């Protein structure tokens, strides 16, 4: 089993990286394979609603999004980490997730996921809510912890001193590992995920 930890910060080894490494530490203790995926700090184009991915299964912009979706197909779970910018996840992270989930939703369905946020002080709960919505629209079990999935600090050294935040990150990893093992045990005993109904309407009578 493998979990991909996505770093949506422009700084690979910044505050968000500290949080993700603590989640990763707990996952590895439980025998779960991990991979860090840094989305980079180059400009990412937004989704332009061309819907070409409906024909090809890939975004027309061939960058880190397509690379990630291919990796996601063989992954068992995900952790998406982002710094907080003006009470929302980084614009880079939102662009990345918009395109990844729209072009490759089948790569994520029924796989557990967790959101991790890093902030100097505020805006984490609003950002947490935004990222979780990607999971709930894609039939993904949401992995919780023992407090909000946040760490605090303006610099990595300060995040490293946020003992409660780091404990929360560690417990995310433990809970993710437990959920993955439960799902695998279910599959081994013939319990597969449901086939969801799909009805799309653009109006309400």
Average pLDDT for runs of 10 along the chain of length 205: 97 97 98 97 93 94 96 98 96 96 96 98 96 97 96 97 98 98 96 86 72
In whole angstroms, what is the distance from residue 1 CA to residue 93 CA?
25
Q: Name residue, tokens 């080894």.
A: 13
Which of 119, 107, 52, 53 lies closest to 77, judged by CA?
107
pLDDT of residue 198: 82
DSSP state of 11: S
Structure tokens at 161: 């001193």
Instruction: Quickly count: other Cβ atoms within 10 Å of residue 79's Cβ.
Output: 28
Asked if residues 57 and 104 have their Cβ atoms less than 8 Å apart, the reply is yes
Predicted TM-score (pTM) of the model is: 0.95
């Amino acid at each position: 089993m493998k979990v991909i930890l996505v770093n949506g910060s422009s700084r690979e080894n910044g505050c968000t990286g500290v949080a993700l490494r603590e989640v990763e530490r707990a996952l590895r203790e439980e025998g779960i394979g991990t991979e860090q995926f840094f989305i980079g700090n180059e400009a990412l184009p937004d989704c332009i609603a061309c819907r070409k991915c409906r024909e090809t299964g890939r975004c027309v912009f061939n960058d880190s999004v397509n690379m990630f979706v291919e990796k996601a197909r063989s992954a068992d779970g995900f952790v998406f980490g982002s710094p907080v910018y003006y009470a929302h996840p980084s614009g880079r992270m939102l662009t990345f997730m918009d395109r990844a989930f729209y072009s490759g939703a089948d790569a994520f369905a029924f796989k557990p996921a967790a959101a991790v946020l890093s902030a100097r002080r505020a805006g984490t709960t609003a950002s947490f809510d935004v990222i979780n919505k990607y999971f709930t629209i894609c039939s993904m079990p949401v992995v919780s912890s023992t407090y909000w999935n946040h760490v605090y600090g303006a610099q990595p050294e300060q995040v490293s001193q946020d003992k409660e935040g780091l404990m929360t990150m560690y417990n995310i990893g433990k809970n993710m590992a437990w959920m993955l093992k439960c799902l695998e045990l279910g599959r081994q005993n013939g319990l597969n995920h449901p086939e969801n109904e799909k009805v799309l309407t653009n109006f309400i009578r």
